[in-house]
Amino acid sequence: MPTRVAPPAQVWYNTVTDHCQLTAAPKEKPGHPAPPPMTTQEPPDRYNPAAIEPRRQAQWAATDLYHVEMQDSARPPYYFLTMLPYPSGDLHIGHWFTMAPSDTRARYLRMRGYNVFFPIGFDAFGLPAENAAIKRNIHPKIWTYANMDRMRQQFKSMGAIFPWDHEVITCDPEYYRWNQWFFVQFFKRGLAYRKFAPVDWCPSCNTTLAREQVVGEDRRCERCDTPVIKRDLHQWLFKITAYAEELLDFSKMDWPERVETLQRNWIGRSEGAEVVFQAHPPAGGDPAPITVFTTRPDTLWGATFLVLAPEHPLVAQLTAPEQQAAVAAYVTQTGRQTEIDRLAEDKEKTGVPLGAFAVNPVNGARIPIWIADYVLVSYGTGAIMAVPAHDQRDFEFARQYDLPIVPVIAPSDGALPDPAAMTAAYKGEGGTMANSGPLDGTPSGSGDGQSVKAAIAYLAAHNQGQAAITYRLRDWLVSRQRYWGTPIPILYCPTCGEVPVPEDQLPVLLPDDVDFRPTGESPLKLHPTWRFTTCPQCGGPAERDTDTMDTFVDSAWYHYRYLSPHYAAGPFDPALAGWLPVAQYTGGIEHAVMHLLYTRFWTKAMRDMGLVTFDEPMTRLFNQGIILGPDGARMSKSRGNVIDPDDLVGQYGADAVRCFLMFIGPWDQGGPWNTRGMEGIIRWLNRVWTLATDSVRTEIAADSATIPNSEFIIHNSELVRRLHQTIRDVGDDTDAFRFNTAISAMMELTNALMKARADLAGSPVWDEAIRTLLLLIAPYAPHLAEELWERRGGAYSVHNQPWPAWDAALAAADTMEIPVQINGKIRDKLQVPADADPAALEAAARASPRVAEWLAGKPIRRVIVVPGKLVNILA
Ligand code: ANZ
Ligand code: ZN
């Protein structure tokens, strides 16, 4: 028996944090003991993660084990990326839930022979940091950097393979300089432009929000939940709409269907036509053309009025004097409503006539022009032709204000509906065009030979309209009236206008001495000197833009910077382009339409700038679920259901926490935390420990009596088969992010080994099985695997070993011969898998032609199946 040394658990435990700090900070903290040397310390002889983990982490750091050779021609590169965290304070269990399984898969691929790059950094600019800093009255920079220091240590306690020398911090001038550089390139290419526009404004955060940051039906600020209002400001936008069509093409990547659908709906492509009406201003003068967007240009003969969005630029010009008061009141009223309210289908329709008329280009009809809130200025052309007979909203509006309804599609029975009798608009399915001049008799629909295409051809031929596509996608609004962000690198010169900061003057540094509290004005505007500068073009006085960029700019391209975080000649070192695009990305589904769309746009813009040669930033994407509190609700401080990973690591060890998070359920589903479930993991890891460290048979035999069925002897060949099946299953499952079933498979192998131990311990098969088990668990429980590997004499490091190979022949389930009896007499013998269940055996017996012959039509009364023995059919 090995001598049992009392585990110095307390001593080891106390050194946990010191080790972590040691790996990050160059200097040791005074007053704390140095880490124990690797060789002289007697290790505890039972599983003691508090002792093992910091020691292994220090060893990996000291030996630079996870250093990534960026130009390695021998191994294929594999860029594995997980979404970078906000340095919001403490690391919470959600961070672990996203990072630890990713680390496991990255480690697995590393063992599979890939040169794996799995970097990490911090999304360090933005509102969360700034709001928290405001609350605590410390400078956002100090607060952010302190958080990052803390989180870095916490990340290290996870034992991940992050190459810390590639860390990217987005609030570092070395990083945001390239945000500015990209901004200038976008400006020069017409992809960045400025416009005076109504924007969504959060009165509490005192800033504009992108459309995506306005959440919920009641349109609240994503960050602070305050209802959003509209405000007019000069804003910079990135022209993401220039790529709308290309962004709908998902063929060059393998992303979850759900994300594709969310993006497709967000982009919202609509095919139809633009039709031009001439409007006559009440005051006289030249007619003003109004272009409408319609998906049903074929119903043009049934258009009985036009509706403009209240914000439409022609409203003032087309308003008759007697309507001015009513129109002004209506415009103000609309401005207070949200888009959702305006589009609500059950809402009573309201509107005001302008007192002007337009001419229907195809039949010369004079039709009135109205404004109504159900028409949005931001969609299509902000103006519609109303066809009340065939569009429900127009129908309700016409009924409300007694406007004419003219049907132009006859249902299949041939008779046009009587407008007075209609109770709803008729969409025209299966109908035929009527009352529509050249379209009469054409089947209604958008297919070939149907009315929509015929109408477009007619309009084009007569110069009255053309085919058009419109998108719901809006340009990306990037200006923020906040301090903690990248300064926008544009100057305003009274002579030269908008002037980009010359590239050799980048970065435009964010000054530290600013009153960063939100006033509604950009804090940089209140700085006494910062914004005053000279125009690089004419040398005259100029002013800087005082807004900062949306932080989604930072995260749109950070993965390029990871490759060469200190590269000074460009956003990334083109010599490292072989790593791109990212092979596998992991992160939450909540980023489906913001970050994941922006980063696709950014890569396409980079491609068009000649910086990269591919079209999509990340080839594969996996969305993990979220980990919930023990009560099944989202973890939050106010609910008091937050699980602190540091406590758990202190209590159970990082390996147990890692494994538990992967075991809790399918990774893409997440689930509630259940600390009791932790025990199963601890028990498993302890069994692995026992198997790998104890080989004394008497002790083992006593121990194995506690395992059910311990009398059952697992034969050599069965163990081999199990082993090969487990290698196969753990590999397949890890590949497919099925970490929970991979752990189950390893647990089963562990249990099988426990049962077989009395017979096999010490044999070559046994040793091979233990060795293999350690290799399989290495990506999952990296510290434990390293420790046990070393104790069994393996060469450092287990993490540099190749993933074990498996043999299909050895993994195949054995077959056996089963007799089939009919009324007790053997009539056939079947080859079946050794583990076939009763249903499978009965089915095989019934399917046998010889059995059928013997039965010869006799009805089967009963079938008796004894698995592994026989099938007896009573006929
Ligand atoms: C005439 C018409 C007749 C229409 C008909 C539909 C049915 P989607 O599919 O969502 O793109 N529309 C156009 N611009 C609008 C705006 N800015 N605000 C509100 N509604 C607008 O819808 C396109 C249809 O929505 C367009 O086709 C237009 O109504 C309306 F039997 O034009 B349609
Ligand atoms: Zn100038």
Closest residue by CA, ligand 1 atom 10: 270
φ, ψ for residue 371, nearest 5 deg = -115, 145
Closest-lying ligand to the alpha carbon of 380? 1
- In this predicted structure, the answer to whether residue 35 has a pLDDT above a threshold of 50 is no
Which atom of ligand 1 is closest in space to residue 386's alpha carbon? Answer: 1
- In this predicted structure, the answer to whether residue 706 has a pLDDT above a threshold of 50 is no
| Mean pLDDT, residues 334-347 | 73
C-alpha–C-alpha distance, residues 676 and 689, integer Å: 21
The model's pLDDT over 77-121, given as tens digits with 9 standing for 90+, comes to 999 999 999 998 888 898 999 999 999 999 999 999 999 999 999
503 CA → ligand 2 middle, Å: 16
- Strands 366-372, 305-308: pairing is parallel
Q: Quick check: 382 and 308 in contact, CB under 8 A?
A: yes
State the CB neighbour count (10 A cutoff) for residue 854: 17
The model's pLDDT over 720-734, given as tens digits with 9 standing for 90+, comes to 889 999 999 999 999
| CATH fold of 815-874 | Ubiquitin-like (UB roll) (3.10.20)
| Mean pLDDT, residues 456-462 | 97
Asked, colleague to colleague, whether 74-174+553-645 and 178-260+475-549 share their fold, the answer is: yes
C-alpha–C-alpha distance, residues 260 and 245, integer Å: 14
In the predicted model, what is the mean pLDDT of the chain? 88
The model's pLDDT over 42-57, given as tens digits with 9 standing for 90+, comes to 455 889 999 999 999 9
- In this predicted structure, the answer to whether residue 752 has a pLDDT above a threshold of 70 is yes
541 CA → ligand 2 middle, Å: 7
671 membership: H or E segment, kind and range: strand 670-672
Closest-lying ligand to the alpha carbon of 472? 1
384 CA → ligand 1 middle, Å: 7
C-alpha–C-alpha distance, residues 170 and 122, integer Å: 6
- In this predicted structure, the answer to whether residue 582 has a pLDDT above a threshold of 70 is yes
φ, ψ for residue 19, nearest 5 deg = -60, -40
Q: Which residues, in sequence order, are CB contacts of 172 under 8 Å at separation 6+?
A: 124
536 CA → ligand 2 middle, Å: 7
* CA atoms within 13 Å, Cβ hemisphere of 489: 27
Sequence letter at residue 109: L
C-alpha–C-alpha distance, residues 68 and 23, integer Å: 17
Q: CB burial class (10 A; 0-12, 13-18, 19+) of residue 134? A: middle
C-alpha–C-alpha distance, residues 22 and 820, integer Å: 70
Structure-block tokens of residue 718: 């069965």
Which pLDDT score, from 0 to 100, does residue 640 have?
84
Q: Is the peptide bond before 511 cis (omega within 30 degrees of 0)?
A: no
End-to-end CA distance of the chain: 62
Considering the four listed CATH numbers 3.20.10.10, 3.40.220.10, 3.40.50.300, 3.40.50.620, the one that applies to the domain covering 74-174+553-645 is: 3.40.50.620
Which pLDDT score, from 0 to 100, does residue 715 have?
59
| Mean pLDDT, residues 496-514 | 95
426 CA → ligand 1 middle, Å: 15
SS3 106: helix
Which atom of ligand 1 is closest in space to residue 380's alpha carbon? Answer: 14
The model's pLDDT over 407-420, given as tens digits with 9 standing for 90+, comes to 999 998 878 999 99
C-alpha–C-alpha distance, residues 322 and 327, integer Å: 10
- In this predicted structure, the answer to whether residue 23 has a pLDDT above a threshold of 70 is no
φ, ψ for residue 815, nearest 5 deg = -105, 160
Closest residue by CA, ligand 1 atom 27: 294
Model confidence at 27, pLDDT cuts 50, 70, 90, reads very low
Whole-number percent of the chain with pLDDT over 70: 91
Whole-number percent of the chain with pLDDT over 90: 67
Provide the residue ranges of all domains of the chain, joining segments of one domain with +. 1-37+677-810, 74-174+553-645, 178-260+475-549, 269-471, 815-874
Sequence letter at residue 322: E
Check residues 506 and 590 and name the one with the higher pLDDT.
506
Q: Is the CB of 308 under 6 A from ligand 1?
A: no
- In this predicted structure, the answer to whether residue 699 has a pLDDT above a threshold of 50 is no
Which pLDDT score, from 0 to 100, does residue 315 have?
97
527 CA → ligand 2 middle, Å: 22
Model confidence at 214, pLDDT cuts 50, 70, 90, reads confident
- In this predicted structure, the answer to whether residue 193 has a pLDDT above a threshold of 90 is yes
Question: For 1-37+677-810, which CATH superfamily applies?
Answer: Isoleucyl-tRNA Synthetase; Domain 1 (1.10.730.10)
- In this predicted structure, the answer to whether residue 800 has a pLDDT above a threshold of 90 is yes
Which pLDDT score, from 0 to 100, does residue 708 have?
34
Which pLDDT score, from 0 to 100, does residue 1 have?
37
Sheet of 115-117: strands edge to edge?
115-117, 77-82, 582-588, 618-624
Q: CB burial class (10 A; 0-12, 13-18, 19+) of residue 30? A: exposed
Q: Is the CB of 384 under 6 A from ligand 1?
A: yes
Instruction: Using CA atoms of 454, 459, 465, 469 in order, give the dihedral in degrees to the nearest 10.
Output: 10
Residue ranges with CB less than 5 Å from ion ligand 2: 493, 495-496, 535, 537-538
Closest residue by CA, ligand 1 atom 12: 384
Check residue 464 and report its DSSP letter: S
Which pLDDT score, from 0 to 100, does residue 232 have?
79
504 CA → ligand 2 middle, Å: 17
Which pLDDT score, from 0 to 100, does residue 133 have?
74
Specify the pTM.
0.83
Instruction: Using CA atoms of 237, 241, 242, 248 in order, give the dihedral in degrees to the nearest 10.
Output: 150
Which of 360, 255, 362, 873 is closest to 591 using CA atoms?
Answer: 255
Best mutation site among 295, 408, 469, 473 for ligand 1 pocket (most ligand atoms within 8 Å of CB): 295
Q: Quick check: 249 and 266 in contact, CB under 8 A?
A: no
Model confidence at 338, pLDDT cuts 50, 70, 90, reads low
235 membership: H or E segment, kind and range: strand 229-238
The model's pLDDT over 288-322, given as tens digits with 9 standing for 90+, comes to 999 999 999 999 999 999 999 999 999 999 999 99
Q: What's 820-842 look like in SS3? A: EEECCEEEEEEEEECCCCHHHHH
DSSP E strands in 64-223: the ranges are: 77-82, 115-117, 121-122, 168-169, 192-202, 207-209, 214-215, 220-221
The model's pLDDT over 598-644, given as tens digits with 9 standing for 90+, comes to 999 999 999 999 999 999 999 999 999 999 988 888 888 788 888 88
Which pLDDT score, from 0 to 100, does residue 695 have?
55
Instruction: Look at 127-141, 269-283, 450-464 and tell me which has the smallest mean pLDDT.
Output: 127-141
Angle at 398 between CA 367 and CA 276, to 5 degrees: 35
Tokens 């073009």 label which residue? Answer: 537
417 CA → ligand 1 middle, Å: 22
Closest residue by CA, ligand 1 atom 21: 375
- In this predicted structure, the answer to whether residue 15 has a pLDDT above a threshold of 80 is no
Model confidence at 213, pLDDT cuts 50, 70, 90, reads confident
534 CA → ligand 2 middle, Å: 8
Domain 178-260+475-549 falls under CATH 1.10.10.10: no
Closest residue by CA, ligand 1 atom 11: 270
Model confidence at 832, pLDDT cuts 50, 70, 90, reads confident
- In this predicted structure, the answer to whether residue 75 has a pLDDT above a threshold of 70 is yes
Query: What is the CATH code for 269-471?
Result: 3.90.740.10
Best mutation site among 337, 384, 450 for ligand 1 pocket (most ligand atoms within 8 Å of CB): 384
Tokens 């993990």 label which residue? Answer: 624
Which atom of ligand 1 is closest in space to residue 387's alpha carbon? Answer: 3
Which pLDDT score, from 0 to 100, does residue 37 have?
46
Angle at 452 between CA 446 and CA 456, to 5 degrees: 135
| Mean pLDDT, residues 573-581 | 97
| Mean pLDDT, residues 852-856 | 86
Closest residue by CA, ligand 1 atom 14: 380
- Strands 121-122, 168-169: pairing is parallel
- In this predicted structure, the answer to whether residue 520 has a pLDDT above a threshold of 70 is no
375 CA → ligand 1 middle, Å: 9
Q: Quick check: 42 and 48 in contact, CB under 8 A?
A: no
Tokens 């990248």 label which residue? Answer: 486
φ, ψ for residue 337, nearest 5 deg = -90, 160
Q: What's 592-629 look like in SS3? A: CCCHHHHHHHHHHHHHHCCCCCCCCCEEEEEEECEEEC
| Mean pLDDT, residues 493-517 | 93
- In this predicted structure, the answer to whether residue 28 has a pLDDT above a threshold of 60 is no
Model confidence at 25, pLDDT cuts 50, 70, 90, reads very low
Which pLDDT score, from 0 to 100, does residue 560 have?
98
